[in-house]
Amino acid sequence: MRCLSIADTFQRIGKDCAFVLADTSMQETISARKYKTVILDSDYQYMDDEIEKLESVIKEMSPEMVIIDSYFVTKQYLECVKSMVRLSYIDDLGAFAYPADILINYNAYSLAMDYKSMYFEESVSYPMTLFGAKYAPIRECFKNIPTRIQNDRCRNILISTGGSDLIHLAVDFVRYMRGNKDAVDYHLLVGGMNPDKQEIYQLTEEIPNLHIHFNVTDMQTLISSCDLAVTAAGSTMYEICACGVPMITYVAADNQIPGAEAFERMGLAVSCGDFRKESDPGRKIYEGIKELSKNYKQRINMGKRMQRFVDGWGADRIVDKLIV
């Protein structure tokens, strides 16, 4: 999704973009946005096995630049691409000294990561760096959002559990809600690959104040219509920040731990911890919502910090730097 935001910005200035994918899992989403896709028929976890195919694609397409976004990339893979074309890499992990021309890390914790020492120790040329949340490549609809005025009461709560929800948080929350009906409306964002969709829809029929949202095309309106949001500690946090909606976050994967910690430390979110270790995450979320809902002053301060932190122009700033 963050690559789509960057591609949309390139497209607005007349640059064509194409997506090279390991498999077809995201092809429909990308094609719907009118971008060309190339499928390598490879395993995304073993990227070195696709190098030869990618070389052929690069030779055929002769791109001005390749932008790589994967947690499974290797030094060999990057070196190969960089030898053929100008290379940008989007990083979250700081796993090694990435041989790239431009390194992008927009995460809240990026400025505290000691990349220079890592590059020095591994004798890799230090790239141009685009660090910090001002480069968060969120969607166009999150630009120019007015300063939010917080409601004194939380009447609408957004709960986002990601595209696949591998920890089954959505269905766990719905089960918990069956015995905890209140006057608040809950808006549950169900991802396309959620394995529990059928049970969620069935249970929702018993809970009149729980509303299911699927295939949402206008996320900004949905987020802004709510008084509080719950999300995993991923890229959605930056979109919620742009809207100034007070936020509760949680961890569902290792790469989300630094983000959850940084957002809480900076007063941008309340973290409920690592839900992979939580026996009753639905209850934990419900209690977190109740606690933050009661603290009007905290929500006001949090919303102000959030909108100062993310303004929605990250993709434009990236493209400005990438244009030679």
**What pLDDT is recorded for position 290?**
94
The confidence score (pLDDT) of residue 13 equals 95
d(CA 165, CA 281): 13
Model confidence over 209-231: pLDDT tens digits?
999 998 888 999 999 999 999 99
Between 319 and 1, the higher pLDDT residue: 319
- pLDDT for res 141: 94
The mean pLDDT of the chain is 94
Per-residue pLDDT, 281: 87
Q: In terms of pLDDT, which residue wins out, 171 or 319?
A: 319
pLDDT for residue 279: 85
- Give 175-232 as a DSSP string: HHHTT---S-EEEEEE-TT-TTHHHHHHHHTT-TTEEEEES-S-HHHHHHT-SEEEEE
Bridge partners, 189 (sequence order): 160, 213
pLDDT(300) > 90: yes
CA separation for the pair 159, 172 (Å, rounded) = 12
Residue 41 dihedral angles phi and psi, to the nearest 5°: 55, 50
For residue 69, pLDDT beyond 90: yes
Both tokens of 251, joined, read: 């961890």
- 306 and 244 in contact (C-beta within 8 Å)? yes
pLDDT of residue 278: 84
Q: Would the pLDDT of 193 be above 90?
A: no
- The stretches of the chain forming alpha helices (DSSP H) are 2-12, 27-32, 51-61, 75-82, 115-121, 169-177, 197-204, 219-224, 236-243, 257-265, 281-294, 296-309, 314-322
Is the pLDDT assigned to residue 179 strictly greater than 80? no
Better pLDDT: 279 or 317: 317
Lowest-confidence pick of 31-45, 124-138, 276-290: 276-290
pLDDT digits (tens, 9 = 90+) for 138-174: 999 999 999 999 999 999 999 998 778 888 888 988 8
**Residue 29 pLDDT > 80, yes or no?**
yes
- pLDDT above 90: percentage of residues in the chain: 79
87-128 tens-digit pLDDT: 999 999 999 999 999 999 999 999 999 999 999 999 999 999
Q: How far apart are CA 210 and CA 197, in angstroms?
A: 14
Distance CA 216, CA 132 (A): 28
Predicted local distance difference test score (pLDDT) of residue 74? 97
The kind and range of the H/E element at 248 are: strand 247-251
Report how far residue 3's alpha carbon sits from residue 6's, in angstroms, rounded to the nearest whole number: 5
Residue range 301-312, pLDDT digits in tens = 999 999 999 999
What tens digit of pLDDT does each residue of 41-59 get?
A: 999 999 999 999 999 999 9
Model's pTM, two decimal places? 0.92
* Cα(23)–Cα(42) distance, integer angstroms: 6
Report, in angstroms and rounded to the nearest whole number, the Rg of the chain calculated over CA atoms: 20
For residue 27, the model assigns a pLDDT of 95
Q: What amino acid occupies position 37? A: T
Question: What pLDDT was estimated at residue 310?
Answer: 97
The torsion angle over the Cα atoms of residues 17, 19, 25 and 26, rounded to 10 degrees, is: -20
